[in-house]
Structure 1
Amino acid sequence: MILIDRQDFEALVREALDDLPDEFAERLDNVAVVVEEEPNPDVLRELGFDPHELDDELFGLYTGTPLSDRGVEYSGLPDKIDIYMGPILRACGSRSEVVREVKETVIHELGHHFGLEDEEMPY
Structure 2
Amino acid sequence: MPVDLDAASFDAMVERALDELPDELARLVENVVVLVEPEAPADDPDLLGLYDGLALTERPANHAGFLPDRILLFRGPLLDVAETVEELEEEVRITVVHEVAHHFGLDDARLHALGWG
TM-score normalised by the chain length of structure 1: 0.87
* Unpaired segments ≥5 residues, structure 2: none
CA distance in 1, matches of 2:24, 2:59: 19
Query: Post-superposition shift, 1:115?
Result: 0.2
1:86 to 76, 80, 84: 76
CA distance in 2, matches of 1:72, 1:86: 38
Look up the match of 1:120.
110
Cα RMSD for the two superposed structures:
1.0
CA distance in 2, matches of 1:38, 1:14: 19
Look up the match of 2:34.
33
Query: Post-superposition shift, 1:71?
Result: 1.6
CA distance in 2, matches of 1:40, 1:88: 13
Matches within 5 A, 1:15-26: 15-26=16-27
Look up the match of 1:61.
50
> In the alignment, residue 19 of structure 1 is paired with which amino acid?
E
* Unpaired segments ≥5 residues, structure 1: 52-56
Percent identity of the aligned residues?
41
**Equivalences, count:** 111
CA distance in 2, matches of 1:83, 1:20: 16
Cα deviation digits, residues 5-25 of structure 1 (max 9, x gap): 000000111101101001110
CA distance in 2, matches of 1:18, 1:2: 22
TM-score normalised by the chain length of structure 2: 0.91
The runs of at least 4 aligned residues of structure 1 exceeding 6 Å deviation read: none
Look up the match of 2:89.
99
> In the alignment, residue 23 of structure 1 is paired with which amino acid?
E
Look up the match of 1:6.
7
